[in-house]
Amino acid sequence: MSPVPDERDRIRAAMRRILAGTPQNSSGALTIVALAHEADVPRNALTQRHLDLKNEFYEHIKEKGAPSDVEVRLRAQIAKLKQTIANKNQELAQLRQDVPALVRAVHQLTLENQELREQLALPQPTILPLHPREADCRRMGSGTESGAR
């Protein structure tokens, strides 16, 4: 496949934009992938057809010495996101550790609740309410009816 006639011009223009820190079509990272995307050419145009432009791009990067502002910002964002992921993974691990204990507690409470309901259903329950209802007080003959003053 023969190269597009203006491919070299587009790659050089994209190279200037990326090195100046003003990308229009890419992230602005100092990579061949970003350069190809910025120039709107396939990556293999730089890795196979225009090796001289690829090498020139890398030479400019070496001369520049420091990464672009966009790259610095993106690397900081990546580091922040990695820390967020690590925190979420730690939180998830803790929650997964807590689940079995919570399941056991719910199971135990369910069994106790079922046992108490069964005891209440017996003719003479072994559990007495702390505050007897008024009707129960009259039945026992306690004389503390609300009407007797």
State which residues form the domain around 51. 7-66
Instruction: Summarize pLDDT for 116-125 with one digit per residue, the tens.
Output: 998 888 777 5
Whether 15 and 39 share a structural domain: yes
Q: Rounded to whole angstroms, how far apart are CA atoms 50 and 55?
A: 9
Whether 77 and 60 share a structural domain: no
Contacts of 12 (CB under 8 A, 6+ apart): 53
Q: Which phi and psi (to 5°) does residue 96 adopt? A: -65, -35
Q: What is the pTM of this model?
A: 0.45
Q: Which residue has the higher pLDDT, 96 or 119?
A: 96
Contacts of 145 (CB under 8 A, 6+ apart): 134, 137, 138
Most confident of the following: 21-25, 69-73, 101-105, 138-142: 101-105
Whether 60 and 76 share a structural domain: no
- For a pLDDT cut of 90, what percent of the chain falls above it? 51
Instruction: Summarize pLDDT for 66-88 with one digit per residue, the tens.
Output: 666 667 888 899 999 999 999 99
